[in-house]
């Protein structure tokens, strides 16, 4: 029972974050490519463990709080973890034909990072307990997700930018992810009041990653709108009413800026739906474990199961409705 309960608490936050990013992509990636990337992130946990074990001497012999925290954070987490995540992106994603939009690099970056975070979470939570699960759900899992966004953004620059600058962009993305990851862990590893600074680093990476992701998402929406306008013009041209349709199409293009935003009601649904789904999944796993113990009457389990299903269904509806809510576009005048 405890193992199943903790496993569910470790997996659910990563799945909800993945769903959140995936739902924002207006041209979703093939499921096969996403699964390969996700499980690639899961599999790199094993070589990372071996590499970290080999580098353990770098911080084991360090003296003093800061030298030990620094070496452990960078050689025990930042450098090996982010390097292997990049390896997944280069081997699984880089030459994939589905990698054809700028936002795709960030989607795949998030997918690989959350694959790694899922198994890492299970390992930590299995020894640390439910308190560790809750803490990592709001810190470590978002940290991995937005590090994936940042690295994926630079991978996109390398993919679609000048060929001679590709290696530089890839290296920049790797270094940025290592530095942010290392600083985040370094403050935590001091095991002192300095640990609160890890939240500042987390806020920086969330802000940076979210800004880059939303910029590409808005560019994607603009491209979709422009393509729709071109289709309107083509159809109107065939009907001999090019000028009027062109004016309407130009009006459509200009109303795209400023970019649309999610309403506070939609954000409320996403947040509370995610929290509710996580809580209900834990209760459901606990009920399954109790049923197999045979110490509780089946009628009681069925009643409790129904009481869990109802709020779970409501939470699912809230989360899904929040993601599917229409985006609010500020009023703008056609040029």
State whether 211 and 273 are in the same domain: no
Which is more confident, 246 or 83?
83
Residue 316 in tokens: 């699912």
State whether 69 and 193 are in the same domain: yes
- The pLDDT of residue 288: 57
Question: pTM score > 0.75 for this model?
Answer: no
State whether 81 and 167 are in the same domain: yes
Residue 305 in tokens: 């199961």
In a domain, 250, yes or no: no
State whether 268 and 200 are in the same domain: no
- pLDDT classification of 240: cutoffs 50, 70, 90: low
State whether 154 and 10 are in the same domain: yes
Does 126 score more than 60 pLDDT?
yes
In a domain, 282, yes or no: yes
Average pLDDT of 118-137? Answer: 79
Q: Using DSSP, state whether 192 is helix, strand or coil.
A: coil
Residue 241 in tokens: 């009413």
In a domain, 230, yes or no: no
State whether 6 and 134 are in the same domain: yes
Distance CA 280, CA 310 (A): 9
In a domain, 317, yes or no: yes
Computed over every residue of the chain, the mean pLDDT equals 78
Task: Return the ∠ at Cα 226 (arms to 223 and 231), rounded to 5°.
Answer: 125
State whether 121 and 198 are in the same domain: yes
- The pLDDT of residue 7: 66
From 218, 247, 275, the end of a domain falls on 218
In a domain, 292, yes or no: yes
- pLDDT classification of 251: cutoffs 50, 70, 90: very low
Domain count, the chain: 2
Residue 220 in tokens: 């994607």
Backbone phi, psi, residue 296, to 5°: -120, 140
- The pLDDT of residue 143: 94
Q: Which domain holds residue 113?
A: 2-218
Distance CA 84, CA 253 (A): 41
Q: Using DSSP, state whether 328 is helix, strand or coil.
A: strand
- The pLDDT of residue 259: 52
In a domain, 234, yes or no: no
Distance CA 212, CA 226 (A): 21
Q: Report whether 139 contacts 202 (CB < 8 A).
A: yes
Average pLDDT of 283-306? Answer: 58
Backbone phi, psi, residue 297, to 5°: -65, 140
- The pLDDT of residue 223: 67
State whether 144 and 293 are in the same domain: no
Window from 56-65, 185-194, 254-263, 295-304 with minimum mean pLDDT: 254-263
Which ranges of 129-263 does DSSP label H, i.e. alpha helix?
130-138, 140-160, 166-189, 197-239, 242-254
- pLDDT classification of 203: cutoffs 50, 70, 90: very high
State whether 208 and 284 are in the same domain: no
State whether 53 and 188 are in the same domain: yes
Q: Express each pLDDT in 5-54 by its tens digit.
A: 666 666 888 888 888 888 878 888 898 999 999 999 999 999 998 888 88
How far from chain centre, in Å, is Cα 65?
A: 32
- pLDDT classification of 128: cutoffs 50, 70, 90: confident
- pLDDT classification of 249: cutoffs 50, 70, 90: very low
In a domain, 87, yes or no: yes
Distance CA 14, CA 115 (A): 8
Average pLDDT of 286-291? Answer: 57
State whether 179 and 306 are in the same domain: no
Report the share of the chain in percent with pLDDT over 90. Answer: 41
In a domain, 245, yes or no: no
Does 248 score more than 90 pLDDT?
no
- The pLDDT of residue 335: 38
- pLDDT classification of 257: cutoffs 50, 70, 90: very low
- The pLDDT of residue 174: 96
State whether 204 and 282 are in the same domain: no
Q: Express each pLDDT in 149-182 by its tens digit.
A: 999 999 999 999 999 999 999 999 999 999 999 9
């Amino acid at each position: 029972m405890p193992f199943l309960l903790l496993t569910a608490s470790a997996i659910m936050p990563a799945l909800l974050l993945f769903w959140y990013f995936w739902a924002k992509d207006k041209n979703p990636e093939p499921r096969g490519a996403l699964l390969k990337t996700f499980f690639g992130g899961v599999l790199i946990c094993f070589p990372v463990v071996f590499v970290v074990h080999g580098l353990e001497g770098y911080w084991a012999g360090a003296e003093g709080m800061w030298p030990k925290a620094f070496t452990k954070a960078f050689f025990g987490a930042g450098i090996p973890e982010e390097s292997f995540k990049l390896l997944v992106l280069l081997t699984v994603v880089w030459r994939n034909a589905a990698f054809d939009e700028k936002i795709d690099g960030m989607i795949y970056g998030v997918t690989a990072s959350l694959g790694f975070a899922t198994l890492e979470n299970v390992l930590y939570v299995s020894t640390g307990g439910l308190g560790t699960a809750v803490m990592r759900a709001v810190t470590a899992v978002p940290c991995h997700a937005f590090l994936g966004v940042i690295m994926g953004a630079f991978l996109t620059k390398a993919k679609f930018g000048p060929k001679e600058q590709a290696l530089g962009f890839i290296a920049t993305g790797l270094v940025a992810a290592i530095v942010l990851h290392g600083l985040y862990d370094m403050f935590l590893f001091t095991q002192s009041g300095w640990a609160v600074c890890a939240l500042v680093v987390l806020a920086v990476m969330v802000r940076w990653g979210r800004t880059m992701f939303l910029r590409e998402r808005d560019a994607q929406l603009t491209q979709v709108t422009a393509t729709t306008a071109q289709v309107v013009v083509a159809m109107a041209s065939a009907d001999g009413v090019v000028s009027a349709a062109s004016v309407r199409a130009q009006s459509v293009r200009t109303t795209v800026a400023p970019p649309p935003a999610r309403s506070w009601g939609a954000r409320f649904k996403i947040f509370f739906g995610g929290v509710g789904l996580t809580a209900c999944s834990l209760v459901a796993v606990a009920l399954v474990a109790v049923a197999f113990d045979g110490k509780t009457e089946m009628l009681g389990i069925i009643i409790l199961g129904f009481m869990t299903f109802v709020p779970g269904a409501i939470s699912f509806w809230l989360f899904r409705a929040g993601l599917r809510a229409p985006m609010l576009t500020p009023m703008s005048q056609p040029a």
